[in-house]
Amino acid sequence: MQVLQIVPSISLIYGGPSQMILGLAPALARQGVKVTVLTTDSNGDSGQKPLDVPLNCPIEQDGYKIIYFRCTPFRRYKFSLDLLRWLNRHANEFNLAHIHALFSPVSSLAATVCRRQKLPYVLRPLGTLDPADLRKKRQLKQLYAAILERSNLAGAVALHFTSIQEAKVSERFGVSTRDLVIPLGVNPIQKAGGEKARSLLSIPKDVPLVLFMSRIDPKKGLNLLLPALEALLAEGLNFHFVLAGTNPQDPSYEEKIKLQIQASLLRSHTTITGFVTGELKSALLQAADIFVLPSYYENFGIAVAEAMAAGTPVIVSDQVHICQEVRDSESGWVGATDVSELISILRIALQNPSERQRRGLLAKEYALKNYSWDAIAHQTIQVYNQILSPLDVK
């Protein structure tokens, strides 16, 4: 089976939704699928240099091929004429395309090319069909959908959602398309690096570490989390808060959050790391006593799954779409997008170390069983075969 994975960028700076390709592609390759990834050299939207990678030629890595194309002329929107030209020439060499992202010109036009070349394609919306997300730049998105995305949705052989809740709430613009629910995966953390992270950040062993690790964006609920943490400090609870993340698309909001922390009680109880990856990321996930993500909407929450795989109990809002899995597996706590409720849940977690430990162990067990890339690749291949089978009835 020859499969294309098409994604606007796989730069680490864009977070989990883009990077999932780096987990899925090698897992598919290990199970015999011939995978080619098409992407751009985009590496941020506000002055960052492009990725330093060879362009327009296949690079072999981890059993699959990846081809980077120059992101031009609309860098912010991750557009690439070269990528679309390559796809137009080579589409007939593949059995299926898996396209990641909507409302992104390179993805939208890639779907159009696939349709014209009669290459079946699956679309993964990345949460962009959530009504809350569609309210942002609403008129522009309605126009974009009318011109491109409605036809792309109608022409797709399936829509790939990462949770049942994401599929349930997603807007379809009047189109009826087959739904697939396949979660994202995580890589297990092999080394115990928690003590190293605490040492590096000068956080004492006996002080609970509360970790936020995600894109610093208004939808992530920091306007709930920061006042909740301030209130708990005022009560006399002791903890250290680590804010790990960045926002290459809205640096002004990131700066606003930093200034808010510096002007509050949290100042002497907070470490702001910026974007983290590699060993430091793994070490922080292991060092944390609690991982918090009180998002207003989240189609999956890959950072939540990563924290669970590290054995860290999580606190999430009921708008993070794997909240039911967290609740059912007792991997942490789930609450509403409300400051007072978040205060109550954080207080319970901070005051009960044995319960944190119990839920952390359950979280790790659940994540390693349900979010391993090999299991997800197996599920994905089954879906691909169903789509491509002449006996498949849609």
pLDDT for 95-118, tens place per residue? Answer: 999 999 998 899 999 999 999 999
The phi-psi region of residue 245 (left if phi > 0; otherwise alpha if psi is between -120 and 50; otherwise beta) is left
- Residue 391's pLDDT band (boundaries 50, 70, 90)? very low
Digit-coded pLDDT (tens) for 333-369? 999 999 999 999 999 999 999 999 999 999 999 999 9
Give the chain's mean pLDDT: 91
pLDDT at residue number 75: 59
Average pLDDT over residues 296-322: 93
Q: Against a cut of 0.95, is the pTM above it?
A: no
Q: Is the C-alpha dihedral spanning 185, 191, 195, 196 positive or negative?
A: negative
**Side-chain half-sphere exposure of 234, counting CA atoms within 13 A:** 9
pLDDT on residue 132: 84
Q: For residue 277, is pLDDT > 90?
A: no
* Main-chain phi, psi angles of 124, to 5 degrees: -110, 115
Cα gap 172→159, rounded to integer Å = 10
The candidate with the shortest Cα–Cα distance to 183, out of 299, 276, 100, is 299
Per-residue pLDDT tens digits for 198-237: 988 889 989 999 999 999 999 999 999 999 999 999 999 9
Class of domain 2-185+372-388: alpha beta
pLDDT on residue 63: 95
Question: What is the tens place of the pLDDT at every residue in 123-150?
Answer: 999 888 888 888 888 888 888 888 888 9
* Proportion of the chain above pLDDT 90, given as a percent: 66
Residue intervals in the chain for CATH 3.40.50.2000: 2-185+372-388, 194-370
Q: What is the pLDDT of residues 16-65, one digit of tens each?
A: 667 788 899 999 999 999 999 999 998 876 667 888 899 999 999 999 99
Question: pLDDT tens digits for 144-166?
Answer: 888 888 999 999 999 999 988 89
Distances (CA, A) of 373 to 94, 305, 310: 23, 12, 15
Q: What are phi and psi of 178, to 5 degrees?
A: -60, 135
- At residue 394, the pLDDT reads 40
Answer yes or no: are the C-beta atoms of 210 and 243 closer than 8 Å: no
Q: Is the CATH code 3.40.50.2000 the one for domain 194-370?
A: yes
Cα(190)–Cα(85) distance, integer angstroms: 41
